[in-house]
Chains A and B, each alone.
Chain A
Amino acid sequence: MDAIEAGIAMVMRWDVILTILAASAFGMVVGAIPGLTATMAIALLVPITFFMEPLPAVGAMIACSAMAIFAGDIPSTLMRMPGTPASAAYTEECYAMTRKGQAEVALGANVLFSALGGLFGTFILILAAPLLAEVALGFSSFEYFWLALLGLACAIFIGAGSPVKGLISLLLGLFIAQVGIDNPGGLPRFTFGSTELLGGIDFIPAMIGLFAMSEVIRTMATGARDWNVKQVSMGNPLKGWGTMFVKYWPQQIRGNLTGTAIGILPGAGADIAAWVSYATSRKFSKQPEKFGTGHVEGIIESTSSNNAALAGAWVPALVFGIPGDSITAVVIGVLYLKGLNPGPMLFVNNPQTIYAVFTIFILANLLMIPLGLLALKAGTALLRFPRRILIPIILMFCIVGSYAVNNSPYGVVLMLVFGVLGFLMEEHEIPIAPCVLGIVLGKLLEESFVTSMIKADGDLLAFFERPISGTLGALTILVFVWPIWSSLRARRQRRAA
């Protein structure tokens, strides 16, 4: 108990609190800028932490990354431009709400459920970190292969007007992920001798192109006329939140659980968590037909999920020094520098520091609510601009954001190419979400398959030999076979009737 009190006391100091506040504001701004990810935000903080005390340094990282993941929802909702990859899964849903005049409601839900998701992940981290890290460490490429395949199954549930067109989009995404040399064989593929293409197709410029640029082209074509909807004010946030909280509590809990579980696994992070949660939400919803039309249900589940994943990623990072995602990879480096070497001994030798870290987590997620509300009000003010002014400025953001990912004009070229591609796809009713999912999962799927085959000397049965892998495999096959079987049965029954 003393350690807990000591830990809390370590945080309740002016310098620590002020650092957390400043880092939160910074994370909020960087996360809201498309092209600059949460990882980038804390990488920018690294040189500053060299000159800080250990605790404020770690606190700054935690606060900054939590805010950045939430802030990614802001441009996603207002401009259909995911600020971080973790927002991509429900970008279209949020933007559809904005088109209905409900931008504030959508963002309000994002603020609250991001914070709650983060808190949930933190509690799991506090209660069961050593135990869960042990489980996560048991995941090998066999398990990741099934996980990636399960992720692809999400494409089925995200829903598309025509299943064939959805599949084409997904396969296109998988192909895009194959470009470059970063494949298990270390072989340049589809690079046409270009050094830039050797590096592959960067996910973020592609995403900005598919979502935001395509919308800009469409809007510009129609002369960027103003929408004839009024944005409704959220009113008293507590009241709206109360209703949502009561109505959608199962979705929220499910999102929290999925997010934490996926976050803990070192090979999968907040972006995959958000996709899985969005698909789960639609699959189990009583009103799946409302999804995609600006319905808050799926947003709640997936926004809970990506923030829960963020806290989950700290489980293997703190217990074994194995990064749960790219953010914790940066954090582990800082922990070493500050003499807080991650590992089971950290929990034994330095319990007060661990409790201080937990306290910061809780604090940062609570702080997200007021700061998020401020950002929400500032952001929605943008929508009052005439769209003839707003849309060209959004295009400039697309350009600068995709440049900033790699500081190279190649990012802008990609963004433009994918913008045109996304525009043409949507013209032909080919959905873009499955394509983005394919890009996200393509590398994981291929890597885990090929490396598993090398390990198993080509024996396909090896995918079922390990207990977790076998279970996941059976589950995956069930998920794929079930819809086919049930539609066949329905057809037979219709014929019989």
Chain B
Amino acid sequence: MRVSDLIVGLLVLLGAAALYSAASTFPPIPGQQYGADVFPTLTAAGLAACGFILCAGAVRAGPFPLAQATWIREPGALPRALATIALTAAYLVLAPLLGFIPAASLVLAGLFLLVRVPLKVAVPVALATALLTWWAFAHGLRVPLPRGFIEGYL
């Protein structure tokens, strides 16, 4: 997952440029000399300086051996990280369609299986966690979690 500092520095420079060009379009507060563009411009300048220093340092250090974190060499590490992100995104899609309890149970079960929890443990724990969370948040603390078919009866 790690890229060299040169690339990070270039990304920062790119971000600074985008920030600067966006800030230059902000109109001033009528009659004032310091408006909405002052801070974004200053931030952009700071980022540009940092990006430059980072790039310069990387170039001076010479070709960079990609010092990957140890975990990335493990088989399946990257797919598992991506699957975790994907499952969280899946919750966002599923919750409004199915309601909180089914969506949360499915996502939890998926996460459990991802780290090799046996199916016969994963499913009941996922269900129990989803129900308990529903009970505590929707009933106890009145958080309006997404309601679906099942929640109407609880």
Contacts and interface: CB of A to CB of B under 8 A. Distances in A.
Q: Answer yes or no: A and B touching, Cβ < 8 Å.
A: yes
Interface of A: 30, 33, 36, 44, 164-165, 167-168, 171-172, 174-175, 178, 183-185, 187, 189-190, 213, 216-218, 220-224, 388-389, 391-393, 395-396, 399-400, 403-404, 407, 409, 412-413, 416, 419-420, 423-424, 427-428, 430, 442, 445-446, 449-450, 453-454, 458
Question: What is the interface of chain B mostly: helix, strand, loop, or mixed?
Answer: helix
Contacts of A424: 1
B112 A392 contact: yes
Contacts of B129: 393, 396
B123 to A, nearest CB: 13
Contacts of A218: 71, 81
19 contacts: A36-B141, A184-B35, A187-B35, A216-B84, A217-B81, A388-B116, A391-B115, A396-B133, A400-B143, A400-B145, A403-B145, A404-B143, A407-B143, A409-B96, A446-B38, A449-B34, A450-B34, A450-B38, A458-B32
A214 B76 CA distance: 18
- Which of A36, A396, A416, A449 has its CB near the most chain B CB atoms (within 10 A)? A396
A199 to B, nearest CB: 16
B92 A220 contact: no
A389 B78 contact: no
Interface residues of B, number: 68
Contacts of B28: 185
Contacts of A171: 43, 46-47, 50
Contacts of B78: 221
Contacts of B53: 164
Question: What is the interface of chain A mostly: helix, strand, loop, or mixed?
Answer: helix
Given A216-B84, A220-B114, A221-B84, A392 B137 contact: no
Interface of B: 1-3, 5, 8, 12, 19, 22, 26-29, 32-36, 38-40, 43, 46-47, 50-51, 53-54, 57, 69, 71-72, 74, 76-78, 80-81, 83-85, 88-89, 91-92, 95-96, 104, 107-108, 111-112, 114-117, 121, 125-126, 129-130, 133, 137, 141-146
Contacts of A217: 81, 84-85
Nearest to B19: A175
A44 B142 contact: yes
Leading 6 A-B pairs by shortest Cβ distance: A392-B111, A185-B36, A221-B81, A220-B84, A453-B34, A187-B36
